[in-house]
Amino acid sequence: MTRQYSPKTFFRQTPNTVLKLYFEARGLALNIDWKALTPRRIEPLFDAIESLPDEVRDGVERDFGQVFDMANPRGRLLFVEQGEVLSVKLADRLADVENHYEAALIVLLDHREVFEMASNVHEMYRLGHWRNRWVGKRLHATAESEQIVAFENAMRRIYKKQGRGRNCHVDPYQRRDPLRFCYFAYPEDYPTSDIEYDADHNFKHVMRRPALENVFVYDPETGVVNISSTGSKGHKEALAEAFCKHILGLKALPPDNGQAKYDLMPVVDPAFTFPIEPGDNVERIDVKTIRLDYPDADQTRVTVNVKPNGSLNTIHNSMRRALNLSSYPLDRLHPSRAEIAIEFKPVNGKRGKRLSFPVTHPDGCGLKDDPHDQVARRILRRAKIAND
């Protein structure tokens, strides 16, 4: 669930010393006693910010809202990762700060480019509408300005067919462990208008041209590009072709390799267990739901669910009870969808993360791109469920 920014919560969590540094860096002399501020007494700071000119206050709140979004363990890891991409060593610098809020505000102040890169990658975790497309392994993904401009122009042509896409901007990023090349594309959406107050407090309609957000993530080791974009399969194929031509240097979008990316047949074997390795830091993995397709003309399907916190072989016991295996043995049924739950071990005394995601034959998977999702992907590959 996305947290909602609250100024007073932000002030209570962020150390006064780094808040003071922020306002000094912006040349804003707030007439307050910083030493007198406490988590129970932050009203002087809140009132001082409220008294700033509207344009200045809006800028401060925009910065603090971004810091608030990044003030979490994932955000801190992204700062270190994106810092390494830009040859900025942040691991030691952030190791001794008081909390995630201080870490995020320090990066905003001292390394804004790192902050913006990490913030964009963090936003990627919230996106949906992902489609996986095999394009080829170990291709060179360019970030050269000439190819980026060509890709922007191709995106404009694709969206022009929908009556939008007059402008487009693309930002390239790189991620590590494993290496992935990310491209954030922002084609112009349909114009719209809002009712708002301007700087002089006049009430009026304001025309604006919002940007759509498309993300392309290429993994050279698997040869797969993951695309987050709304639209039909054909639309995403057109986007994939533009990406292949202008970013990966291919003459055309290659045909898909024809291999199902996700095969759930191993799961229905009663002897099946997920291959967990010590470095995964996984406590347990459960299959909570499985959908089985019968080999008949009526396209019969049966979905088997289990209650939470059952034993590791609960799904197999449930299948035996729910299905007529004498008429249709398991090897005649086709598992087309499963809901998988992974429980990670506690870290630093904190409760372990729980990750649930669907896998659908042949090419659907609810995993995203954060570190826990990457662990899940590796386990699915070891189990021969994922072939991406």
Q: How far is CA 209 from CA 38, 165, 192, 203, 340, in A?
A: 42, 10, 6, 19, 40
CA–CA separation, 184 and 229 (whole Å): 11
Do 293 and 220 share a structural domain?
no
Q: Of 74, 104, 124, which residue is a domain's last?
A: 124
- Give the total number of structural domains in the chain: 3
Strand partners, 185: 170, 214
Q: Of 97, 124, 151, which residue is a domain's last?
A: 124
Do 110 and 184 share a structural domain?
no
Judge whether 59 and 49 are in contact, CB under 8 Å: no
Residue 4: its pLDDT value, please?
80
What's the token pair of residue 57?
Answer: 């206050």
Do 12 and 113 share a structural domain?
yes
| Residue 205: DSSP 8-state | E
Amino acid letter, residue 144? E
Provide the pLDDT confidence category of residue 63 given band limits of 50, 70 and 90.
very high
Strand partners, 204: 196
Percentage of residues in the chain having pLDDT higher than 90: 57
CB-based contacts of 181, cutoff 8 Å, min separation 6: 141, 143, 172, 173, 174, 175, 217, 218, 220, 247
Pairing outcome for strands 301-305 and 214-219: unpaired
Provide the pLDDT confidence category of residue 62 given band limits of 50, 70 and 90.
very high
Do 24 and 64 share a structural domain?
yes
Do 96 and 167 share a structural domain?
no
CA–CA separation, 266 and 290 (whole Å): 12
351 or 281, which is more confident?
Answer: 281
- Element of type H or E holding 375: helix 371-382
What's the token pair of residue 118?
Answer: 């990490």
Do 61 and 112 share a structural domain?
yes
Do 279 and 229 share a structural domain?
no
Do 315 and 229 share a structural domain?
no
CA–CA separation, 345 and 367 (whole Å): 19
| Residue 294 confidence (pLDDT) above 90 | no
Please provide residue 57's backbone torsions phi and psi, each rounded to the nearest 5 degrees.
Answer: -60, -40
- Tens of pLDDT, residues 172-201: 999 887 889 999 999 999 988 888 887 777
- Strands of the chain, DSSP E: 130-134, 168-175, 180-187, 192-197, 203-208, 214-219, 224-228, 282-293, 301-305, 334-344, 354-360, 364-365
Instruction: Identify whether 347 is part of a domain.
Output: yes
Q: How far is CA 192 from CA 84, 156, 164, 212, in A?
A: 40, 19, 12, 13
Instruction: Identify whether 259 is part of a domain.
Output: no
CB-based contacts of 347, cutoff 8 Å, min separation 6: 281
CB under 8 Å, gap of 24 or more: what pairs does 42-45 form? 42/8, 42/11, 42/12, 45/11, 45/19
Q: How far is CA 387 from the centre of its chain?
A: 21
Do 138 and 215 share a structural domain?
yes
CA–CA separation, 355 and 383 (whole Å): 17
Residue 259: its pLDDT value, please?
63
Residue 1: its pLDDT value, please?
42
What's the token pair of residue 382?
Answer: 């070891």
| Residue 375 confidence (pLDDT) above 60 | yes
Do 150 and 206 share a structural domain?
yes
CA–CA separation, 207 and 227 (whole Å): 30
Do 154 and 116 share a structural domain?
no
The domain in which residue 241 lies consists of 130-246
Provide the pLDDT confidence category of residue 69 given band limits of 50, 70 and 90.
very high
Instruction: Identify whether 334 is part of a domain.
Output: yes
Instruction: Identify whether 158 is part of a domain.
Output: yes
Instruction: Identify whether 253 is part of a domain.
Output: no
Residue 366: its pLDDT value, please?
87
Residue-averaged pLDDT of the chain: 89
Instruction: Identify whether 229 is part of a domain.
Output: yes
Do 349 and 240 share a structural domain?
no
Instruction: Identify whether 255 is part of a domain.
Output: no
Instruction: Identify whether 2 is part of a domain.
Output: no
